[in-house]
Amino acid sequence: MRKASGHNKKEGAVKKGAWSKQEDQKLVDYIRKHGQGCWRSLPRAAGLLRCGKSCRLRWMNYLRPDLKRGNFGDDEEDLIIKLHALLGNRWSLIAGRLPGRTDNEIKNYWNTHLRRKLIQRGIDPDNHRLGCHTAGPSNLPKWELVSHGDEEDQEADSVTVCSSEASGLSAPLPDLNLDLTIGLPFVSGNKFHAEQIQLGC
Partner DNA sequence: AAGCTTAGCAACCGCCTCCCA
Partner DNA sequence: CTGGGAGGCGGTTGCTAAGCT
Which chain residues interact with DNA by CB under 7 A? 1-8, 15-19, 38-40, 50, 52-54, 56-58, 61-62, 89-93, 103-105, 107-109, 111-113, 116, 137, 187-192
Q: What is the DSSP string of 94-141?
A: HHHTSTT--HHHHHHHIIIIIHHHHHHTTB-TTT-PBP-S---SSSPP
Given the complex with DNA, which of 19 and 143 has the nearer CB atom? Answer: 19
- Work out how close the CB of 103 gets to DNA at its nearest, in angstroms, rounded to a whole number: 5
Give the shortest CB-24-to-DNA separation in angstroms: 8
Q: How far apart are CA 108 and CA 135, in angstroms?
A: 21
Burial of 13 from C-beta contacts in 10 A (0-12 / 13-18 / 19+) = exposed
Q: Looking at beta carbons only, is 108 or 139 nearer to DNA?
A: 108
Name which of 113 and 121 has its Cβ closer to DNA.
113
Q: Of 90 and 148, which has the nearer Cβ to DNA?
A: 90
Nearest approach in angstroms of CB 138 to DNA is 8
Question: What is the rounded distance in angstroms from the CA atom of residue 112 to the CA atom of residue 159?
Answer: 25
Please report how close the Cβ of residue 194 comes to DNA at its closest, in angstroms.
11
Q: How many CB atoms lie within 10 A of CB 27?
A: 24
What are residue 40's DSSP bridge partners?
A: none
Q: What are phi and psi of 191, to 5 degrees?
A: -55, -50
Helix (H) or strand (E) run with residue 73 in it:
none
- Residue 16 CB, nearest distance to DNA (Å)? 4
Q: Which is nearer to DNA, 48 or 173 (CB)?
A: 48
Residue 130 has φ and ψ, to the nearest 5°, of: -70, 125
